[in-house]
Structures are given as structure tokens and as C-alpha cells.
Amino acid sequence: MSLLNVFNITSTALSAQSQRLNVVASNLANADSAVSSNGQPYKARQVVFEALPMNPIAGGMGVKVREIIEDPSAPRMVFNPNHPLADAKGYVTMPNVNAVEEMTNMISASRTYQINVDVMNTAKTMLLKTLALGQ
């Protein structure tokens, strides 16, 4: 039944988008963490999506998170000579989290999540109508 496949496809999208939202939350929470668990400043993380073939006969494609990469951009240098981690010139290495980028990422993830919920709702209505056929 193809309509049940719609549920499988959109649920992969929901979990992928919620993982993206999780990564955004972690980036924003650690926007000022000068030291992370490995002793280095925290590095922003980004998810990489990949299409996931689910039903090769009817062309259904889900989505999955292929990997979570560390943002390679340069860290933010903040001048604060009183900070215990300041270098000889008085600069502290802070995480490379870009708050504006993270906020847009968050909005995009939540919108895509909502749209997928809408799709799932429509599929559910159709399935219930099919079940009520002939009654």
C-alpha cells in the first residue's frame, strides 16, 4: 500500500530534521564554550543529509543524516587579557559558532518539520477515507 509508505518516508524526514534541530541547539548552547571535552574550543557541527532509497519499485526516497561534520571555519578571537585562557597577546580562542546562521538553520528545520507533519496528516485522512469506503 503506497499510502503507508508515505508515513515511512515522512517519518525519516521528521527524524532527520529533529536531529538537525538538536545540532543547532548544541551549537547555540556552546556558542561561548572556550573549552570543550577535548580541551580545545568547541567547534560548530553541521548535519549532512542524504537521500535513502526505501521502495525501489515505486520510487520512494526517504532521507537520512549521512554524517555530522565539524565546521572547518576559523575560530572567533576575542580580546580579553583577564581571561585565564588568553594567549600572550591577550586573545581568547572562542568557538566558530555563527549565531545568525544557526538561527536561520533552526527556522528552516522547523518549517520543513511542519510541512512533513502536514503531509503525514493528509496521508492519514486519505487512508481513513479509504478504510471508510462502502460504509
Partner 1 sequence: MIDRLDAHFAAPLRALSARTARSEVLAANIANADTPHYKARDLNFSEALKAASRQGFGMRQTDERHLAGRSTAPLMAALQYRVPVQPSIDGNTVEVDNELAQYSNNAIYMQADLNFMNSKIRGMMTALQTQ
Q: Candidates 33-41, 74-82, 87-95, 127-135: pick the segment binding partner 1 (CB under 8 A).
A: 127-135
Q: Which is it for the CA torsion 65, 48, 97, 109, positive or negative?
A: negative
Distances (CA, A) of 49 to 9, 20, 119: 14, 9, 20
Mask for 66-105, x = binds partner 1 (CB under 8 A): ----------------------------------------
Element (H, E) at 106: helix 99-131
Is residue 133 near partner 1 by the rule CB under 8 A?
Answer: yes
CA 55 – CA 72 distance, rounded (Å) = 36
Q: Residue count at the site for partner 1 (CB under 8 A)?
A: 38
Is residue 48 near partner 1 by the rule CB under 8 A?
Answer: yes
Under 8 Å between Cβ of 110 and 13: no
At CA 29, angle to CA 24 and CA 33, rounded to 5?
Answer: 120
- Which of the residues 8 through 47 are near partner 1 (CB under 8 A)? 9-10, 12-13, 17, 20
- By CB under 8 A, name the binding residues for partner 1: 1-3, 5-6, 9-10, 12-13, 17, 20, 48-51, 54-55, 57-63, 108, 112, 115-116, 118-119, 122-123, 125-126, 129-130, 133-134
